[in-house]
Amino acid sequence: MGKPLKVVVVGSSRNEALRVAADLEQCGFDPSFSLVATRPQLGNAVREGCDVVMAWRDTSSLPAEQVLETVRGVGPGHPVLIYARSYREEEIVELMRAGAADCLRKGDLPRLRASLEREIERGPRRRTGGLPNEAEATDRYRALIEEIPALTYVAWADETGSRAYVSPQLLAMTGFTPAEWLSEPDMWVRRLHPRDRERVLGQFRQACASTGRFASEYRILDRDGRELWWRDEGRALPGPDGATRFVRGFVLDVTEQKLAEQSLRRLRFYDQLTGLPNRDLFLKRLGRSLADSTHTGQPLALLILALHGFKETANTLGHHNADLIVRELAGRLGEVLGAADRVARLKGDEFGMLLPDADAGLAAQVATSTLAALEKPFMVQGLPIEVTASVGLAIAPEHGSEAEIVLRRADAALQAALKLGGGASVTYSEQYEPHDPSGLALLGELRQALDANQLVLHYQPKVDLKTRTVIGTEALLRWHHPKRGLVPPGQFITLAEKGTALMTPLTRWVLARAVSEAKGFARNGHALPVAVNVSARNLHDDQLVDQVTEALQANDVPADRLQLEVTESAVMVDTYRAGQVLDKLARSGVRIAIDDFGKGYSSLGLLRHLPITELKIDGSFVRGMVGEGGEGDTAIVRSTSELAHNLGLSVLAEGVEDQWTLDVLSTFGCDQAQGYFIARPMSADNLTGWLDKAPWTMAES
């Protein structure tokens, strides 16, 4: 029989507690446990007495910070062990600072045993309120520092940030000994990558002069000249006169993560066949060029070229040969422009070309020479193949000054050119606009729809792939239009987002309804968190935090029953402001997920500073995993999932439409999934019925 151990497990299912108990038994203990899911339950259980509190960071219903805060509130003497699959290094420091006795990786039984023995041995002293003695504290601190592959340093607050101290990890990280590094005052600056040097020094000097905080990512060259990526965070320390004398900080080597992000970026923004930028990157570059052109007052032209009857050609020649033509075509377009980076493959046989500083006359000339460049037959397997193409043109600012609009107009011109037949080039004019018949009318009606009770929420379940349980639902807005029938949100949310005053009442309504229906689900035995989508406009609206609090209080629903989904691009509009609003929401206990991840341009690194717990990979990539050419999307989903895990986020794949995709996602270690294969969005009533007999067993509550 093992040593008796009284454990409080923080978690949402009995299975979790049983797994913890099994680990403890293997470590030679005889555990008795109580399972708690909320802060009051935790507080009571700890007060009643326990040897240790164990919290599983990734799935627990309470964030680790809240667990630590609650246990601290009860008083000293109750060690908390945090469990997770992996940690960011800084996170270990944060959790230990917040009072965790240790941060364990799942499955690391030797360390679990050692931690428990240490805590039990220390127990009686802790309980009497005795502080650990100095030697013990130093020991723990050293163990902690050695656990972290990080460099600590102290730098003078001078022009070149010359180092006064660097820790011994420097040798393993760069091949330089600390003595070598300190022997020359400008060593750090000299090893900084020339392309990053000015930027980083600027940030460093600014930290010394005003902000007090230095945070930067840059490349540094190691002893052999290899590029390493460092993430450096420091704090300015003032001297007696109040002016900054030193900067003290730590550096993490994030090379692996950066390389993984770079290859993910290549997959996301470049066409695998031709190596050209894809539509997303092209749009981004177009946006930048449009901004430049507004600044300089010079016009800008956009050409889109497409082949005639390329599908038939591909069917006749086979896809491999068709690919050869596309690749050769890409090369010829690059030659015409003399700059391959201004050409992009938008889709299939459609290419975009960007001409900065070109007016309509010059653009027409380029269109002519482009079409001429395709007159020479393409050689495929020794056979000459003739292709014909047409070109659509749009000019900025005449035809618009936003990337999406200019691209759409060039496309409208292209459709007109394709109708004319081979070799045509057409410049946009309003007559080619496929007009949006009722956008504005619809918006007007939406205002009334709110009052006339025409809006409803449908719910789509989210499931956990490991435990195969339903772990939540997402509320999706529907409009029962008296004449048009059920209108999906895609048709009105974007309109509402443009309008000024509509998003706020709309979101208030959605939040109130979702929270009150979630309460209804709980009454029927399904206490599941509900996720609500919020738009960019909401994130920059002061009322959001109050709306959330109001909805929760009015229905007496705990904050962790609500999750908010924000898209990557909504956050990027103003990261600072979005961060402030999200911080407030997260502090109130609401969980935040990033929706549609992969569609925007942000790097995961940028998201690190936001209080998010979950990443939803956009459905287009997940659906793209199936069928021909699925390898690219599969790679995107896999690496996004790995990177997100490295940042301690849980990962949900949207848009799962078949068993195969679900199985592949499980092998990636993807945590959760959502999609038609599991269940389509359904009314609140139908959801209750579905949950009652779901093949996915419900999370125990």
- Residue numbers of the site for ligand C2E (CB under 6 A)? 460, 476-477, 488-490, 493, 510, 533-535, 565, 595-596, 619, 654-657, 675-676, 681
Nearer to ligand C2E, 393 or 617 (CB): 617
User: C-beta of 418: minimal distance to ligand C2E in Å?
Assistant: 28
399-406 long-range Cβ contacts below 8 angstroms, 24+ apart: 399/428, 401/290, 401/294, 402/287, 402/290, 403/283, 403/284, 403/286, 403/287, 403/290, 404/283, 406/286, 406/290, 406/302
Between 286 and 622, name the residue whose CB sits nearer to ligand C2E: 622
The item of Mg ion, ligand C2E, none sharing an interface with residue 11, based on CB under 5 to 8 Å by kind, is none
Beta bridge partners of residue 567, listed in sequence order: 595
Q: What share of the chain is helix, strand, coil (3-state, %, to 5)?
A: 50, 25, 30
CA distance 700 to 680: 23
What is d(CA 412, CA 591) in angstroms, rounded to the nearest whole number? Answer: 42
**H helix intervals, 403-502:** 403-420, 439-451, 493-498
655 is in the binding site of which of ligand C2E, Mg ion, none (Cβ under 5 to 8 A by kind)?
Answer: ligand C2E
**63, interface contact from Mg ion, ligand C2E, none, CB < 5-8 Å by kind:** none
Nearer to Mg ion, 565 or 633 (CB): 565
Q: Residue 301: enclosing H or E segment and its boundaries? A: strand 300-307
Choose from ligand C2E, Mg ion, none: what does 490 bind? Cβ within 5-8 Å by kind: ligand C2E
CA distance 663 to 321: 33
Kindly tell me which of 338 and 490 has the beta carbon lying closer to ligand C2E.
490
Residue among 154 and 626 whose Cβ is closer to Mg ion: 626
CB of 476 to Mg ion, least distance (A): 7
Given the complex with ligand C2E, which of 301 and 594 has the nearer CB atom?
594
**CB closer to ligand C2E, 34 vs 555:** 555
> How many angstroms separate the CA atoms of 480 and 496, rounded?
16
| CB nearer ligand C2E, residue 23 or residue 654 | 654
CB of 101 to Mg ion, least distance (A): 37
Evaluated on CA atoms 113, 114, 118, 121, the torsion sign reads positive
Look up residue 288 and give its two tokens. Answer: 């930048």
Give the pairing of strands 102-105 and 80-84: parallel
> What element of type H or E holds 346?
strand 343-347
Q: At closest approach, how far in Å is the CB of 25 from Mg ion?
A: 41
Q: How far is the CB of 565 from Mg ion (least distance, A)?
A: 4
Least distance from ligand C2E to the Cβ atom of residue 595, Å:
5
675 binds, among ligand C2E, Mg ion, none (CB under 5 to 8 A by kind): ligand C2E
> 201 is in the binding site of which of ligand C2E, Mg ion, none (Cβ under 5 to 8 A by kind)?
none
Q: How far is the CB of 663 from ligand C2E (least distance, A)?
A: 15
**Do residues 69 and 117 touch, judged by C-beta distance below 8 A?**
no
The count of other CB atoms within 10 Å of the CB of residue 110 is 8
**Residue 408: CA atoms inside 13 Å, Cβ hemisphere, count?**
11
CA atoms within 13 A of residue 380's CA, in its CB half-sphere? 21
How far CA 104 is from CA of 31, 42, 218, 417, in Å, comes to 18, 20, 30, 63
Cβ proximity to ligand C2E: between 431 and 659 the closer is: 659
| Shortest Å distance, C-beta 458 to ligand C2E | 7
Q: Which residues bind Mg ion (CB under 5 A)?
A: 533, 565, 595-596, 654
Q: How far is CA 679 from the centre of its chain?
A: 24
Residues 6+ apart with CB under 8 A from 167: 145, 151, 152, 153, 178
Residue 19 beta carbon to ligand C2E: minimum distance, rounded to whole angstroms: 30
CB 217 within 8 A of CB 195: no
Q: Compute the least distance from the CB of residue 570 to ligand C2E, in Å.
A: 9
Minimum CB–partner distance for residue 76 and ligand C2E (Å): 45
676 binds, among Mg ion, ligand C2E, none (CB under 5 to 8 A by kind): ligand C2E
Burial bucket for residue 458 (CB in 10 Å: 0-12, 13-18, 19+): buried
Least distance between ligand C2E and beta carbon 598 (Å): 11
Q: Closest separation between CB of residue 676 and ligand C2E, Å? A: 3
Q: How far is the CB of 670 from ligand C2E (least distance, A)?
A: 15
Distance CA 277, CA 280 (A): 8
Residue 476 partner contact from Mg ion, ligand C2E, none using kind-dependent CB cut-offs of 5 to 8 Å: ligand C2E
Q: What is the DSSP string of 156-221?
A: ESSTT--EEEE-THHHHHHS--HHHHHHSTTHHHHHB-HHHHHHHHHHHHHIIIII-EEEEEEEEE
297/490 with CB nearer Mg ion: 490
The option from Mg ion, ligand C2E, none interacting with 331 (CB < 5 to 8 A, set by class) reads: none
Nearer residue to Mg ion within complex by CB, 620 or 666: 620
Burial 522-546 (b: 16+ CB within 10 A, else e): beeebbbbbbbbbbbbbbebeebbe
Closest C-alpha among 178, 176, 177, 245 to residue 208 = 245
HSE, side-chain direction, 13 A CA sphere, residue 217: 10
Length of the chain equals: 701
Nearer to ligand C2E, 250 or 459 (CB): 459
Distance CA 433, CA 171 (A): 64
Residue (352 or 681) nearer to ligand C2E, CB: 681
Strand-strand pairing, 485-487 and 455-464: unpaired
Pick between residue 70 and residue 547 the one whose CB is nearest to ligand C2E: 547
Measured CA distances, 450 to 71, 454, 480, 537 (Å): 44, 6, 11, 18
